[in-house]
Structure 1
């Protein structure tokens, strides 16, 4: 997530950046439905159609990753996969570097996908199966994807480990997290890496980032901002971990199997995924921990109450994520 100082609503900033695209001026009242986490996202309309302006400070993002994300989205849509579609700016580019009085930002605009967030609807067996299918199809398409320019590839899990290590150097007391980076680096180095089990993943394919359209009985994925090259098991584990929060415990095994049945119906030849889950969970916990640590590092006097509350919640989550640091991984 962004550092806390970037979590404030700023309609003037959003409007200034949005001037790089066409929009309906009367729709700017939709800015009240903004959200900010890893990016600021402000809804608006263009010729009556809902669009989403996404932006973040350049120091918080990697430009090559953003360019690679947009290329992958074009590839997915060319192959008729349900993913969000970027809209060209007035200058014809999908990614804009906007210079403002508040700093420089990377920005893009996306069409709103149809349907409702899975996190907000009842997940019956058919929808769970469709959810699994959407992830399986994504991985199948990823296996065939080759970036146009090798030097503009999305980053890999090793790049993420390097990023975590670099950030942790600013926190001398975080020795257990730093040791966890090295532990996972060594652990993953023993895993086989094949076209079947490794490729470009979504990383955050949770119910809030997948929409179900009842009319077409199809799923649509958004928010590819965290994509990386990793083992496909990472996506499956992350999806199931998020899905568990939506399912009653007594129904979990049956619902989990519906998702996995849908996944394997599209993902190709089966192989053992679940033995890989514990290490994937450790990676996700560590990555989340370092991002939160970086986000809450800077403190100010007289912080607003909402920020103090958010800081406290994030620190509790960090404590939970750090519980497994240094322990043996049991498959």
Structure 2
């Protein structure tokens, strides 16, 4: 998540970034449908086709991670896996680094993927099976992947980043203890080519698009991808799925998902517990929210006050299991 000061709509900045690509001038009214969270996303059209401009401040991203994301997406597309397709800029680059009056920004443009977001789709057995199958296929391809140029960061590097984020907050003793507890736990877990690799990390329903007529799945938002145990992706996908279905259906839908996964890749028999995977996700989110909300200003707009309150509640929920034995 970006720092809160970067969540304000800035169409002048968006248009300045977009000028690095070809676009339809008359489509800029689509900027009104922007969204900002981990990145700013502004829709537009080029040749009448929907595309998405994604950008973020240089201070919020690691260039090596962005380049590694684009390389992995290219690898997946070459092997027939449905993912976002980056659009080269006017100068032929998929990643643009631009100086602006608001600072230096990284930007990329993607073609919009077909299908309906799975959180808006009917989660029948076939759809859930395809959801699991898409994750299994992703892990199968990841297990054979060796980056040529750039490499995404690892779970250990994420934990080190969390340590640095917590340094200015002496009162965050529980979060620091949780960081060390998880570091010690994962250090004792076997990492093999079969159970550990480059994962999506956010393989939730709102990042998966299903085209029922073509029976195809497309995956977006690899922005948080990292090297971790495949179990982390499985845990987060199941958590997203089970939240979306009725309690009495959860066991059956979980079975459909796991059958789909196993049709493409063996379910990991070793590796971290699902509870440990959830604790990592909670801690990482906690650190990102803490960093994002650290700055405060007088007379904040109402939407920001509401968001800050919601994020404060998330901090309390996310830290509720800090320190529990794994």
Contact 2:87/2:111 (8 A) holds in 1: yes
Structure 2 residue ranges without an equivalent (≥5): none
Distance 1:273 1:247 in 2: 28
Query: Post-superposition, which runs of at least 4 consecutive aligned residues in structure 1 deviate over 4 A?
Result: none
Query: TM-score scaled to structure 1, two decimals?
Result: 0.97
Asked if 1:158 is matched to 2:156, the reply is yes
Distance 1:115 1:323 in 2: 37
Distance 2:120 2:4 in 1: 27
Contact 2:66/2:223 (8 A) holds in 1: yes
1:239 maps to what in 2?
A: 237
1:69 maps to what in 2?
A: 69
Between 213-222 and 136-145, the greater mean CA deviation after superposition: 213-222
1:299 maps to what in 2?
A: 296
1:263 maps to what in 2?
A: 261
1:325 maps to what in 2?
A: 322
1:57 maps to what in 2?
A: 57
Which one of the candidate residues 273, 276, 281 is aligned to 2:278? 281
User: Structure 1 residue 21: deviation in Å?
Assistant: 0.2
Q: Check 1:161–1:191 CA distance in 2 against 1; reply closer, same or farther (3 A cut).
A: same
The CA RMSD over aligned residues, in Å, is: 1.0
User: Structure 1 residue 275: deviation in Å?
Assistant: 6.3
- CA offsets, 1:151-207, max 9 Å, x none? x21000000000000010011110110111111000001101111100000000000
Distance 1:245 1:311 in 2: 24
The number of aligned residues is: 326
Contact 2:163/2:179 (8 A) holds in 1: yes
Contact 1:233/1:273 (8 A) holds in 2: no
Distance 1:53 1:187 in 2: 39
Distance 1:199 1:275 in 2: 13
1:142 maps to what in 2?
A: 142
Distance 1:244 1:31 in 2: 33
- CA offsets, 1:11-49, max 9 Å, x none? 111000000000000000000111100000000000011
Structure 1 residue ranges without an equivalent (≥5): none
Contact 2:229/2:272 (8 A) holds in 1: no
Query: TM-score scaled to structure 2, two decimals?
Result: 0.99
User: Structure 1 residue 272: deviation in Å?
Assistant: 2.6
